């Protein structure tokens, strides 16, 4: 397998692990996907540093007891130890008031190779749609406890 293909597969895996950690609400695994000095442009704010990014995420997740994060249509352009990526996402959410919400947006990322891993160096999330969700809170079930650990 060529290095370019291996890099693209590793970056796809990074993005898949991100969605998986969101579903499982696994803060340790989620934060491990970010470079130590990463930055995140999230809803009009720039957060810098892995610890600050994690704190922001934990605070945001408190308001959303149920989050189904789906990533689609990844585009990856690798240039050495850096890569630019774009991911379309759809999130179905139930908020703390038991209201169903939907967010459709796009992540524009810069990923960096750190040792033998690819990590998020910079993520920018832009909302393209925010509105009522298509499903109701009564139908939402928690992520199964017996498979909450990371793969």
Encoding tokens for residue 108?
A: 């524009």
User: How far apart, in whole angstroms, are the C-alpha atoms of residue 136 and residue 100?
Assistant: 6
Regions of the chain with pLDDT less than 50: none
| pLDDT score for 150 | 55
Rg (CA), the chain: 16
pTM, two decimals, is 0.87
Tokens representing 111? 């990923």
Residue 79's contacts (CB-CB under 8 Å, 6 or more residues apart) are none
What's the pLDDT score for residue 1? 82
CB distance 32 to 53 below 8 Å: no
Residue 133: what pLDDT? Answer: 75
Could you say which DSSP state residue 146 is in?
G
Distance separating alpha carbons of residues 133 and 137, to the nearest angstrom? 10
């Amino acid at each position: 397998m060529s290095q370019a293909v291996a890099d693209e597969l590793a970056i796809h895996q990074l993005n898949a692990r991100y969605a998986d950690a969101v579903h499982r609400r696994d803060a340790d695994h989620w934060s491990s996907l970010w470079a130590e000095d990463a930055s995140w442009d999230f809803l009009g704010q720039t957060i810098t540093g892995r610890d600050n990014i994690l704190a922001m995420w934990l605070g945001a997740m408190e308001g959303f007891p149920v989050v189904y994060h789906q990533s689609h249509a990844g585009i990856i352009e690798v240039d050495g130890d850096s890569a630019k990526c774009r991911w379309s996402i759809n999130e179905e959410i139930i908020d703390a008031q038991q209201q169903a919400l939907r967010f459709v947006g796009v992540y524009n990322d810069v990923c960096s190779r750190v040792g033998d891993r690819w990590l998020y160096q910079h993520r920018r999330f832009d909302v393209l749609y925010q509105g009522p969700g298509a499903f109701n809170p009564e139908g939402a079930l928690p992520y199964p406890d017996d498979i909450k650990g990371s793969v």
